[in-house]
Amino acid sequence: VNSKTRQHMFSRIVRPECGNEITARYITWLEKQMDSDPNLRRVYIQAIGNVGSPETIAVLRKCVHNSQYSSYLQTSAVFAMRYQVIHKSPKVVPVLMSLYHNYSLPIGTRLAAVALLVYSDPGIAVWQRLAISTWYEPSPAVAQFVASSVRTMATSQDSLYSHIARSALLVLPLTKPIKVKAHEPYNLMTSWFTSDMEKQILEQLSWMRFYNFSNLYYRHSSRSSGFFRTNMEVLIQNVYKQLLQIIC
């Protein structure tokens, strides 16, 4: 009898979870594959992130700091940490904060760190540092992205992020009042209830643009009777390059 399903008929299908040793060997193999095939580095970076193990943070962080990688790969390595954010890994918040405060990294990489950081439930101390940093941030693009993230989370009515919204609301007075400009990076989210109060709608629009990479993300989701559904999710990378290809 299978210890998980309690049914003998599934014993050949259900396999036990990978142990730490097997996971470590798999991560090491993926890391070696990145060096052997540069054309598939983006794929292997994402595969490492999909493992979901806390051990992947160190590997992905090394990819971010690899100066031989393009800003696109460095940014992809940050976004690959999203499963650690979802699982509230205590190791990921300090890493994301260090990446955000590293001015030598590409702007897009720092923006990616902020984009994940606001959903990691980092605590009021981290929110304070984010809010105050908008006053001395050397990049106007990063300052606007951080300020818009704090503002949109502080005004969020989504019950799923209520604990995050409370922290963002407390530090909102510390945030520099920056007017959102359409051509600069921003992160906006809004939520509301339908007229019959039976469904909650969530919309998120995130725009990142820097030297050789652009990222437009839109998500429309709904929540009803405890069920969460993503009705539409669109991610367009290198928007300018694709538009030029269409025009030309």
What is the per-residue pLDDT across 13-50, written as a single tens digit (0 to 9) for each? 445 566 777 888 888 889 888 888 888 998 999 999 98
Residue 1 domain flag: no
pLDDT of residue 184: 63
Q: Which has the higher per-residue pLDDT, 234 or 132?
A: 132
Residue 9 domain flag: no
Residue 129 domain flag: yes
pLDDT of residue 194: 66
Q: Which of 46-60, 133-147, 188-202 has the lowest mean pLDDT?
A: 188-202
Residue 12 domain flag: no
Give dist(CA 161, CA 142) in Å, integer: 23
For residue 121, with 0-12 CB atoms within 10 Å meaning exposed, 13-18 middle and 19 or more buried, which class applies?
middle
Quick count: other Cβ atoms within 10 Å of Cβ 78? 29
Query: Is the model's pLDDT at 204 over the cut of 70?
Result: no
Give dist(CA 211, CA 105) in Å, integer: 13
Residue 161 domain flag: yes
CB-based contacts of 195, cutoff 8 Å, min separation 6: none
Q: What is the mean pLDDT of residues 210-222?
A: 62
As given in the structure block, the two tokens for residue 13 are 């299908």
**Average pLDDT along the chain:** 78
Query: Is the model's pLDDT at 6 over the cut of 50?
Result: no
Residue 5 domain flag: no
- Number of domains present in the structure of the chain: 1
Residue 8 domain flag: no
Domain enclosing residue 40, as ranges: 17-245
Banded model confidence at residue 201, pLDDT cuts 50, 70, 90 = low
pLDDT of residue 35: 82
* Cβ proximity of 138 and 103 under 8 Å: yes
Query: Is the model's pLDDT at 53 over the cut of 90?
Result: no
Q: Which has the higher per-residue pLDDT, 1 or 229?
A: 229
Residue 73 domain flag: yes
pLDDT of residue 52: 83
What is the per-residue pLDDT across 60-101, written as a single tens digit (0 to 9) for each? 999 999 988 888 888 889 989 988 888 888 889 999 999 999
CATH number (domain holding residue 107): 1.25.10.20
Give dist(CA 205, CA 216) in Å, integer: 8
